[in-house]
Amino acid sequence: MARWIRKHPVAVVWVVLFAIPVTMVWSEKVLTDFEIEEPVEWDMRLAARATMDIKDLVAVIGHGVTVSSVRAREYDNGFAAAYHIGDRRVVVDARHDFADETLLYVMGHECAHAMFIQGAFLDEDPSLKRYQHHVHEVAADVLGAHLAGRVVSRRGEDGAALTFNLLEETRIVGRRYAIGPFAIKEHISTEWDGNVRTSVGNGLWLDPNCGAEKLIDAVDQICREHDDLWEAARAIANELHNVDSKTAKKYAPPSDWRPGR
């Protein structure tokens, strides 16, 4: 190998120049559960706002939970933000015009994911994969609302009101889509994407909170019973995520979202 390298220095240069970008693209895909487009434009102001929120959220959580960095970039997958398990960073979609409280809530959602993952609270059961994803996402929404409220309270404002309003919005989404999703027609079948969304065709997706009002209430009750939201996350995992199929049926998402089914 050493002899070949000495004889072909130009080829070595080409190999190195090609390998670096390929490695970067590969590592980006490994760190995520879905494909991400290459960065188009970074929004440093949004990243700075999100970083301040993450700092306050992590201070509320405690227990050594960390987020390594926060970046803002254009996402082409419909998600407002994502927590990357591999390197513990959060990426927020720079195309969204986030109001301050909305951004705090979205960052709270991602910090809830960090709590579940870094606490190793979740036991995976392949036979309950869709249900467990459903619980994870809905729980992150509810925990995110409670985390956001506690941060706002520390900032000297009415955090309880914020949490209440965020949870009411979440419940409204769950009720509305469970009764009659506007996007669903009789001829459209539903297909779960293996992550957090259910396709209803024509590029449309159902929110993870569809039909989740009972689960939202259960997670909310656990959060209100714990002063320490870290322990609330542990209880949510044990009581709602790491369960048998009989318990899962109580909170499982409907298999068919069409009205009247």
Q: Kindly list the domain boundaries of the chain, sorted by start residue.
A: 44-251
Mean pLDDT, residues 145-157: 96
Give 44-251's CATH code, choosing from 1.10.3470, 2.60.40, 1.10.10, 1.10.390. Answer: 1.10.390
Phi and psi, residue 60, nearest 5°: -70, -40
pTM: 0.74
- The answer to whether 214 touches 250, Cβ cutoff 8 Å, is yes
**Distance from first CA to last CA of the chain, Å, rounded?**
66
**Of the given ranges (38-52, 97-111, 143-157, 222-236), which has the lowest mean pLDDT?**
38-52
Residue 253 DSSP class: P
> Structure tokens of 10?
């130009």
- The answer to whether 220 touches 167, Cβ cutoff 8 Å, is yes
More confident position, 121 or 81: 121
Mean pLDDT, residues 68-77: 79
Closest CA to 81 of 101, 64, 99, 98: 98
Read off the pLDDT band of 81 (50, 70, 90).
Answer: confident
Q: Residue 52's Cα: distance from chain center in Å?
A: 19
Q: Is the pLDDT assigned to residue 259 strictly greater than 70? A: no
Q: What is the pLDDT of residues 85-104, one digit of tens each?
A: 888 999 888 888 888 999 99
pLDDT confidence of residue 176: 57
Q: What is the pLDDT of residues 108-132, one digit of tens each?
A: 999 999 999 999 999 999 888 878 8
Phi and psi, residue 72, nearest 5°: -115, 130
Helix pair 44-61, 229-236: axis angle to 10 deg: 90
More confident position, 209 or 117: 117
Q: What is the pLDDT of residues 185-194, one digit of tens each?
A: 333 344 444 4
- Percent of the chain clearing pLDDT 70 (strictly above): 64
Strands (E), the chain: 69-73, 81-84, 89-93, 191-192, 198-199, 205-206
